[in-house]
Structure 1
Amino acid sequence: MNAVLIAVIVMLVLSLLRINVVFSLIIGALVGGLTAGLSVAETIDAFTGGLGAGATIALSYALLGGFAIAISKTGIPELLVLAILKLVKSKGDSNKVGLVKALVFLLLLMMAVFSQNLIPIHIAFIPLLVPPILKVLNMLQVDRRLIACILAFGLITPYMFLPYGFGAIYQDIVATQMGLSGLEIALSDIPKAMAVPALGMVFGLVMAFVLFRKPRSYKQQEVEVNDLKVDVKKSSIVFTIISLLAALTVQVETDSMIAGALAGIVVLYVSGALKRKEADVLLTEGMRMMAFVGFVMITANGFAAVINATGHVESLVEASSGLLQGNVSIAVLIMLIVGLVVTMGIGSSFATIPIIAAIFVPLAMELGLSPLATIALIGTAGALGDAGSPASDSTLGPTAGLNVDGQHNHIWDTCVPTFVAYNIPLVLFGWIAVVFVL
């Protein structure tokens, strides 16, 4: 049996059984190494030797988590939420129901997109923004499944396509892992390659508006919401904006999310927008928030190192190529579905890339795919499953905000709708991009 196939199957089965993904990766790597004839010591040496490749990404995630928490404590997110709620309430008494709905949808979409790139606070805005407007949504009889899809779109599409904030981390992972697997690419090529798959997400969002357009009634319950009375100094607002600009500028100039996040934190720290007494606790809290993903990244690199050490990647590629007989269309479709299964099991598109790149890159080269087509294949396969996975932040976040009154089911009202709305179009548009466009 092929050791690579065995390792991936073991890792997938354990992940789908809700075994911690770090342990699943370690066990899968060990089984794969032993299957290939490596000793336990050789397998462990290969595994530990590969861990360092994930250190940069893990540190990027940790610093960005610290930066996100620091920003959230300045009061700026609360000010944005208050401004949005005032706009919604000011239109709430109007008879123009369509206008009110459009305003709510647009504001939720903007906040979700900004949370990934412009103001990288990830899902932290959802518990602040969504519960206060549930009453308005109930009055408008808006299907909450549509809101879940809107939020998921904003949480996923930006990192796929835009090379800033979380997008910089995702795209750096793609470039790094493809390089380690034998195909060096430029970071600047990734947005070009991911343009068509991103259009698939747009198509899915439009489809969500069609699928969940009908009114849906909910019981009007009083939702316990924290009263947002924010007193933020003007200087804090100014320095927070400067910190965001500094983080973005430094990241662009250095191509380093580590440098960008550090620059933003330094501005907040030196300016006093981040209180020095609280700084250590807040930054530690932010790093802890991202620690799990960081450990998954590091472990996945060890897993990939063992996969390469087995020497079975080449045989798997040759066997797959022979089985597919050069049928690029079927091969691409199969690889996209594998990416979907892996991400669904792990719950992290970021952690999926190191796992699939070691196999997909050699196979893509064997099939004669161009570098841009290979980027689209890896990037899309990694993002597939983020929408729809019960363990993904992109589904857990929306559910946390929409289910505060107990009327929104995580699986049937968030996971299933987002799976249908986005994973099906992503497979289709990713396949078109790889096979026909690039």
Structure 2
Amino acid sequence: MEWIVVVTVLIMTVLSLMRINVVLAIVVASLVAGLMSGMNITDTISMFIDGMSGQMETALSYILLGAFAVAIGYTGITTLLVNVLVKVLTGKKTMMVLALAGVACLSQNLIPVHIAFIPILIPPLLKLFDQMRLDRRAVACALTFGLQAPYIMLPVGFGLVFQKIVLEGLNSNGLSLALGDVSKAMLIPGAGMIVGLLIAVFITYRKDRDLSGLKVELKKAEEQIAASTKAGFTRQHLFTIIAIIAALGIQIWTKSLVAGALAGILCMFVFVAVPFRKNDKIVSEGIGMMGLIAFVMLAASGYGTILKDTGAVDALVKVSANMPGIDNKVFMAFILLLIGLLITIGIGSSFGTIPIIAALYVPMCIAAGFSPFATAILIGTAGALGDAGSPASDSTLGPTAGLNADGRHNHIWDTCVPTFLHYNIPLLVFGWVGAIMF
């Protein structure tokens, strides 16, 4: 039983590396997990389908955010940003990548559209990337950084949700800690992500990368760039900004991405920033843009349910707790983080991983003598590990959705592998050292 997580995560990873569609890879891993736990195929499929409901709200929010992003794109306000990037950063590869990382960071708190902005903003820039001979793997690392680092380090937007989940996991299992202390604790693994970003931008992917040998149609991207240079601020843009603010306010008030996205869409129609007759087209394009990602998240939820309900995760942690030398804090911290990596890279959701591991980690950390602050570091880092690099994570699916608009960016080798290497290794090291020091 304890090997189910390891075996099925390896199966999913190997299939993905072989360029098998990630949805098929998750389904196969789920079937293997069910069969290894003693269930038959029928029961496994039934549990998988039931488990998909665990991410229904997330999937719906992605669809609505996709429609909201399409509506924003329809007004042309994103061309203003493209215009600035083209004018100011053409020829400045490093600044371009860092600027995109900054824009992605804003999508997690100031304008909480999460990954929905990527398929709108990135495709018009692809031609520019090629002209600059910019390595798209650097852009993938920058976007993933912006999607993950803010929720780890900043207690606002998605970060507030993440850190509250960590806090609830600690408090509900017998440890008392304030939200401010959790925020301070998460700055340590967050610093590791900053190091990973700098390595990717200034060392690993600094050199030119020429993709001109591939045959591809870039007419749409060229037209979008040409249009961006003529864009000016209009009444539509003003109402779009109002809609974005309304979406942010509703999301914070209701703590619901669905409510926020729906409010933003309704404001776009009420203020006639987008003609109401376009509603069918906008929703359809939003589904087309975000539908695959939403379905991958549903499939990942079904897989995660099988791992949880069959006791595979519990068994893995219990076996690890009985390993020789686990009473050593240095060794124990490393093992706990490694388990978090395996679980999250399989489930694909840091937010969904925290409640699973907190109940198991807290008693082990108390017994081993870890402080509440160090325990927060371990649990938060263990949950964040694997988000970058996971084939089923929105932190990797989002960048690929934009960078592969012209068919020249591979999800596994150009997004998952680079982000796995540049973020999971620093997260593991910084989380490990932080837990030992505090």
Q: Could you say which TM-score interval applies, normalised by the shorter chain?
A: 0.7 to 0.9
Output the amino acid matched with 2:145: F
Alignment of 1:317-328 (within 5 A): 317-323=317-323, 324-328=325-329
Q: Give 1:362's match in structure 2, choosing from 352, 360, 363.
A: 360
SS at match of 2:38: helix
Distance in 1, matches of 2:168 and 2:287, equals 22
Contact 1:388 1:395 in 2 (8 A): no
Contact 1:304 1:358 in 2 (8 A): no
Identify the residue that residue 203 of structure 2 maps to in structure 1. Answer: 211
Structure 2 spans left out of the alignment, 5+ residues? 17-22
Identify the residue that residue 142 of structure 2 maps to in structure 1. Answer: 150
In structure 2, relative to structure 1, the CA distance for the partners of 1:266 and 1:400 (3 Å cut) is same
Output the amino acid matched with 1:277: R
Does residue 1:260 correspond to 2:277, yes or no? no
Distance in 2, matches of 1:156 and 1:355, equals 14
SS at match of 2:273: coil
SS at match of 2:423: helix
SS at match of 1:61: helix
SS at match of 2:332: helix
| Deviation sequence 1:200-247 (CA, Å, 0-9, x none) | 111122223442486547488996542232567722111111111112
Distance in 1, matches of 2:27 and 2:169, equals 21
Does residue 1:226 correspond to 2:227, yes or no? no
Alignment of 1:382-393 (within 5 A): 382-388=383-389, 392-393=396-397
Query: What TM-score, normalized to structure 2?
Result: 0.74
Structure 1 spans left out of the alignment, 5+ residues? 93-99
Contact 1:22 1:295 in 2 (8 A): no
Identify the residue that residue 27 of structure 1 maps to in structure 2. Answer: 31
Distance in 2, matches of 1:400 and 1:237, equals 28
More displaced, 63-72 or 210-219?
Answer: 210-219
In structure 2, relative to structure 1, the CA distance for the partners of 1:304 and 1:83 (3 Å cut) is closer
More displaced, 428-437 or 230-239?
Answer: 230-239
Contact 1:181 1:358 in 2 (8 A): no
Identify the residue that residue 270 of structure 2 maps to in structure 1. Answer: 270
Query: What TM-score, normalized to structure 1?
Result: 0.74
Does residue 1:126 correspond to 2:122, yes or no? yes
Output the amino acid matched with 2:256: S
Q: CA deviation at 1:416?
A: 4.9
| Deviation sequence 1:29-88 (CA, Å, 0-9, x none) | 5335526xxx88887787666555433333333332332232222211122101221223
Contact 2:29 2:303 in 1 (8 A): yes
Contact 2:169 2:359 in 1 (8 A): no
Distance in 2, matches of 1:390 and 1:48, equals 20
Contact 1:11 1:28 in 2 (8 A): no
Q: Among all aligned residue pairs of Structure 1 and Structure 2, give the percentage whose two residues are the same amino acid.
A: 38
Distance in 2, matches of 1:309 and 1:343, equals 16
Contact 2:129 2:136 in 1 (8 A): no
Output the amino acid matched with 1:421: H
More displaced, 116-125 or 391-400?
Answer: 391-400
SS at match of 2:223: coil
In structure 2, relative to structure 1, the CA distance for the partners of 1:388 and 1:23 (3 Å cut) is closer
In structure 2, relative to structure 1, the CA distance for the partners of 1:282 and 1:34 (3 Å cut) is same
More displaced, 259-268 or 24-33?
Answer: 24-33
Q: CA deviation at 1:434?
A: 3.4
Output the amino acid matched with 1:112: A
Distance in 2, matches of 1:220 and 1:44, equals 44
Contact 1:177 1:353 in 2 (8 A): no
Identify the residue that residue 283 of structure 2 maps to in structure 1. Answer: 283
Distance in 2, matches of 1:298 and 1:180, equals 27
Matched residues, number: 413
Output the amino acid matched with 2:267: V
